[in-house]
Amino acid sequence: MSQERPTLKELLDEGIQHPYFVLLTGQRGELDVSTYEPYAQTHQFSVLSGFSQNCIEYKDIVFNPNDSTTYIGGISYELKNDFESFLTSRNLESDFEFPQSFFIHPERLFESNFPIGLGIEEQNHFEFGGKIQFELQTHKPDYVENVNNVINWIKEGTVYELNYCIELKADSSGFNPIQAFLKMIKEAGNPFSAFVKHQDLYCLCLSMERFLCKKGNQLTSQPIKGTINRGNNISEDLELAQQLQSNPKERAENIMITDLVRNDLAKCSQVGTVKVPDLCGVYPFPSVHQMISTVESKTKEDIKFDQILKNTFPMGSMTGAPKIKAMELIDQIESFNRGLYSGSIGYIDSRGDFDLNVVIRSVFYNEKSGKLSIRVGSAITIDSVPELEWAECLSKINGLIQLIGAEIKG
């Protein structure tokens, strides 16, 4: 690695030589989505990266207010089963089974600010070893049937909203995770992107969603519900943003999840401190506008990280409401274990501060088997139309699939 500030490629090249490696972008609360400029190639973003020969569970992190140790890693959606003993994971995972939690105390920690194109602007062509063909693991008739089942549950009052996800898989012996991530970051870098290596498993994440951040006694969550594509020009772009802002279905989805997050934060916060300073704000990202709400609170004195996690994880934007019942039903209708998808990647420091994303818009890769996986979902409400939800899922995933030189088979 160069003696001066390394490029992103140099960080990635060094990191994957080790069993465990995590690179985060836009973390530590330094990037405010309200000032994010998705098309500015000189835009600065934070990078935090490190590697290690060993990893630990979140429960083994040592907290010391007089220390400044930083841990980076991830938490699987399946950790829900530890928090609620009657929850299960019906589907067996094989190719993409990350641990329920894994954090590294880096042998060397690198932290800096980068222009978003640094170290990759000279690479104009990326070769992925042939066209990758992704195959849907849930086909449209089964998807429509499952969405109709969810709508019936909503009519019966079992749930109010449920996030239903599907999976696409591919074989790719020539996939290069570093090349792919560099292209993904250059063309569609989002403020909570991450690159994770856990032995033979990789997660290439282009998340724009913050699950939960703690700085001192301040908690912040920024759930996303509501998506629309960017326009081809300024006028069209503003019109589409306004359409999203005024869409009653998207606003209803966002408000329901924001209320759920308020309730989650209230369990670990001082009475009367939970606030929503920004409800249903619409913000631009490289390929889409997103509807984001911000929920803030002040933590109870002496509350521990594991207590905060148990009260808030998994994030409501990826489950539905009520959360526990939604997770039970998700396990019934989805054909795969979510694993790290719908979980979180981020950092925790020994003083108890942390910043965690929501693992969405991600490519999972098993280097040993050559398998790739992409997962995508949408929030089902009483007003959902199954065919439109199907189209929304394909629309969400299409940009990511194209970024890695792939296509959907059939």
Query: Chain-wide mean pLDDT for the chain?
Result: 89
Question: What's the total number of domains in the chain?
Answer: 1
Does any domain span residue 2? no
Model confidence at 294, pLDDT cuts 50, 70, 90, reads very high
In a domain, 113, yes or no: yes
Name the residues annotated as catalytic.
Answer: 209, 225
Q: How confident is the model over 86-130, as pLDDT tens digits?
A: 888 887 767 899 999 999 999 988 887 765 444 554 444 555 556
Q: Give residue 382's domain range.
A: 8-120+130-408
Task: Let me know if residue 56 belongs to a domain.
Answer: yes
Question: Residue 40 belongs to a domain with what CATH number?
Answer: 3.60.120.10
- Domain assignment present for residue 230? The answer is yes
Strand 371-380 and strand 108-115: the pairing is unpaired
Instruction: Answer whether residue 95 is part of any domain.
Output: yes
Q: What integer is the mean pLDDT of 333-355?
A: 95
| pLDDT number for residue 191 | 85
Instruction: Give the predicted TM-score (pTM) of the model.
Output: 0.92
Distance, CA of 239 to CA of 224 (rounded, Å): 20
pLDDT of residue 43: 42
Q: Is residue 3 part of a domain?
A: no
351-380 pLDDT, tens digit each: 999 999 999 999 999 999 999 999 999 999
Higher-confidence position of 402 and 27: 402
- pLDDT tens digits, one per residue of 148-179: 999 999 999 999 999 999 999 999 878 999 99
Contact criterion met (CB below 8 Å) for 90 and 335: no
pLDDT band for 28, please (50, 70, 90 cuts): very low
> Is position 1 within any domain?
no
Q: pLDDT tens-digit profile of 381-394?
A: 999 999 999 998 99
Does a structural domain hold residue 125? Answer: no
Predicted local confidence at residue 45, as pLDDT: 61
Determine the Cα–Cα distance for residues 20 and 316; give it in Å rounded to an integer.
29
Q: Using pLDDT thresholds of 50, 70 and 90, give the confidence band for residue 6.
A: confident
